[in-house]
């Protein structure tokens, strides 16, 4: 696979993690997101959810993801300083994202 194709596939998978995170948070309020990178065979996201996921939840999550995709939200890549990113995620109550940024040791 060419680098351009790989980059596009990784971008699609990365964007899909965002859609999945929104779907899970819509369906299961109180869920916190952790890390969700694209991987070789797709993507994943770790969640801290008060609701233990069951196999029956998967079709609901997929259906909500399809609804979100049909809303045609723009995907815009942006770059921020570590302090800006920490402030953003802290304002959303996403403590794991703040911890990840701090663990990366990125200068403010």
pTM of the predicted protein model: 0.86
Paired residues of 47 in beta bridges: 33
Domain that holds residue 96: 79-108
More confident residue, 106 or 102: 102
Residue in 80, 8, 81, 76 with CA at minimum distance from that of residue 38: 8
Residue in 91, 92, 84, 20 with CA at minimum distance from that of residue 101: 84
Residues 70 and 85 in one domain: no
Query: If you average pLDDT over residues 36-46, what whole number do you get?
Result: 86
**C-alpha distances out from residue 65 to 25, 26, 99, Å:** 11, 10, 27
Residues 11 and 55 in one domain: yes
The total of structural domains in the chain comes to 2
Pair 86, 103: CB distance under 8 Å: no
């Amino acid at each position: 696979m060419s680098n351009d194709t790989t980059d596009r596939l990784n971008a699609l998978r990365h964007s899909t993690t965002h859609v999945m995170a929104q779907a899970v948070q819509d369906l299961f309020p109180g869920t916190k997101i952790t890390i969700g990178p694209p991987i070789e065979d797709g993507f994943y996201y770790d969640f801290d959810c008060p609701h233990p996921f069951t196999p029956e939840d998967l079709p609901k999550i997929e259906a909500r993801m399809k609804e979100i995709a049909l809303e045609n939200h723009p995907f815009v890549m942006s770059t921020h300083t570590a302090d800006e990113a920490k402030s953003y995620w802290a304002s959303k109550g996403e403590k794991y994202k703040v911890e990840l940024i701090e663990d990366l040791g990125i200068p403010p």
